[in-house]
C-alpha cells in the first residue's frame, strides 16, 4: 500500500515509517524539520529511512498547502497518517502561535487535501492531554474532553472536532488516536525519560514536577506502532459498530469517524518511574522536587478496551524493558548525535 505520513523526522513518525517500509509498503514522508529540538537527531532519523528505496522524503511546513498539494499530486496515497504537530505542553505557554499554525492550520490543510483525493483512510494523532484533569479513571474515549488544561491540548481537541465535521460533510473515514506518554529509542529530548537519563549521567539534578505525586500511563514506542498499524486496517464505517463495556464504539452517529486511545493501560507513579531509571542506569538521581507546572495534569490512565476490541493489539512491553532499551540506544548514540 501507499502511505503519506507527516512528521517522519519525528519520533513516532520515524518508527511508523520504518515499520511500514520493512513490511514492503511505499511511504512518502512530509516533515518541516523545525528547530524545536536537536536537528541532528531529526536528520539521522530521516537518513535511516532513506536507506529504503520505497521512501521519499519531502521537507515542508504543514501550513504550506501548495507544497502539500504538490506532494499529493505526485504520490496519491491509500492512507494518510497525520502525526506532524507542534508538541509539548510547556512550550505552548511560550509560543502559542506555533500551535495554531501547525496543529490547526496545518491539520486543516491535511483535511482539505484528504477530501480532495477521497483518501481511503485518514488517521490523525491526538493526545491524552485532551482529557485534562478528568477525575474518572481509566480515561475512556466517551469521556468529556471540553476542559483542556493546556493550549497544546486545546489545539488537539480542536483538530478532533474539525475532523469530525469533515468526516460528516464529506463521508471521509477518519480515525483520531490519543497517545499516552510515548517513550523509547530515538525519542524526543524534551520528554522526561530522555531528560532524566541525560541529567543523571551528567551528574546534574533532575526536576520532578508536582512534588513527584503525578502518575503517567507510559507507552513503549513499539506497542504504539503496533496499535497504529492495526488501526489503519480497521476503517471507520457508520455501518460497523462494536460494543465495548456497554458503549457502542466511539464512532459518531453522524459520520465515519472514531477516536481510540493507544496507551499502556498501566499508570506508573512518577517517583516509581525515577526508581526504574536509577535501577537500569545503576546510578542514583539527584532529585529536585518542584510544584506542578501550568498546563500539566495530575495523572493519565488509558482504557484500552476499544483498542483491544478493534484490533486485538494490547501493549505488552514492561517499563523496565522499555527503559533498558532506551538507555542502551542513548549510550550508543549520544556522541554521534550530540545528545
> Does the annotation count 152 as an active-site position?
yes
Find the catalytic residue in 3, 36, 152, 220: 152
Buried b (16+ CB within 10 A) or exposed e, 33-60: eeebbeeebbebbbeebeebeebbbbeb
User: What's the rounded mean pLDDT across residues 28-32?
Assistant: 97
Give the per-residue pLDDT at 91: 85
Domains of the chain and CATH, by start = 2-183+218-263+301-316 (3.40.50.720)
pLDDT digits (tens, 9 = 90+) for 49-72: 999 999 999 999 999 999 999 999
pLDDT given for residue 242 in this prediction: 66
Higher pLDDT, 88 or 282: 282
Terminal CA-CA length for the chain: 35
- Average pLDDT of the residues in 196-213: 95
pLDDT at 301 (0 to 100): 96
Q: Are 136 and 92 in contact (CB under 8 A)?
A: no
Distant-in-sequence, close-in-space partners of 262: CB < 8 Å, separation ≥ 6 = 177, 178, 179, 180, 219, 223, 224, 227, 228, 231, 302, 304, 307, 315
pLDDT in tens, 136-168: 999 999 899 999 999 999 999 999 999 999 999
No. of helices (H) and no. of strands (E), the chain: 12, 15
Mean pLDDT of 12-16: 98
Query: At residue 271, what are phi and psi to the nearest 5 degrees?
Result: -70, -35
Asked if pLDDT for residue 248 goes beyond 90, the answer is no
How much is the pTM?
Answer: 0.95
Per-residue pLDDT at 227 exceeds 60: yes
Amino acid at each position: 500500500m501507499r502511505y503519506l505520513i507527516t512528521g517522519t523526522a519525528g519520533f513516532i513518525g520515524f518508527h511508523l515509517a520504518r515499520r511500514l517500509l520493512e513490511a514492503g509498503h511505499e511511504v512518502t514522508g512530509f516533515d518541516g524539520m523545525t528547530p524545536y529540538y536537536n536537528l541532528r537527531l531529526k536528520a539521522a532519523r530521516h537518513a535511516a529511512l532513506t536507506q529504503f528505496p520505497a521512501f521519499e522524503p519531502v521537507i515542508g511546513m504543514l501550513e504550506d498547502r501548495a507544497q502539500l498539494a504538490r506532494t499529493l499530486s505526485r504520490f496519491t496515497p491509500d492512507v494518510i497518517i497525520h502525526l506532524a504537530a507542534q508538541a509539548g505542553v510547556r512550550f505552548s505557554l511560550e509560543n502559542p502561535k506555533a500551535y495554531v499554525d501547525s496543529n490547526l492550520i496545518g491539520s486543516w490543510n491535511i483535511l482539505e487535501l484528504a477530501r480532495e483525493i477521497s483518501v481511503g483512510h485518514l488517521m490523525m494523532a491526538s493526545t491524552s492531554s485532551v482529557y485534562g484533569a478528568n477525575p474518572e479513571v481509566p480515561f475512556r474515549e466517551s469521556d468529556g474532553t471540553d476542559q483542556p488544561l493546556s493550549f497544546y491540548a486545546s489545539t488537539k481537541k480542536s483538530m478532533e472536532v474539525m475532523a469530525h465535521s469533515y468526516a460528516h460533510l464529506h463521508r471521509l473515514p477518519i480515525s483520531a488516536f490519543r497517545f499516552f506518554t510515548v517513550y523509547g529509542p530515538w525519542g524526543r529530548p524534551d520528554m522526561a525519560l530522555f531528560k532524566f537519563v541525560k541529567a543523571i549521567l551528567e551528574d546534574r539534578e533532575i526536576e520532578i514536577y508536582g512534588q513527584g505525586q503525578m502518575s503517567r500511563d507510559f507507552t513503549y514506542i513499539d506497542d504504539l506502532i503496533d496499535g497504529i498499524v492495526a488501526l489503519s486496517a480497521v476503517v471507520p464505517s457508520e455501518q460497523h459498530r462494536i460494543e465495548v463495556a456497554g458503549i457502542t464504539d466511539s464512532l459518531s452517529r453522524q459520520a465515519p469517524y472514531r477516536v481510540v486511545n493507544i496507551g499502556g493501560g498501566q499508570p506508573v507513579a512518577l517517583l516509581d518511574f525515577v526508581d526504574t531509571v536509577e535501577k537500569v542506569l545503576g546510578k542514583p538521581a539527584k532529585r529536585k522536587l518542584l510544584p506542578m507546572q501550568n498546563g500539566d495534569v495530575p495523572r493519565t490512565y488509558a482504557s484500552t478496551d476499544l483498542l483491544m476490541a478493534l484490533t486485538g493489539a494490547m501493549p505488552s512491553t514492561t517499563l523496565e524493558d522499555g527503559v533498558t532499551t532506551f538507555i542502551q540506544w542513548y549510550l550508543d548514540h549520544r556522541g554521534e548525535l550530540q545528545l
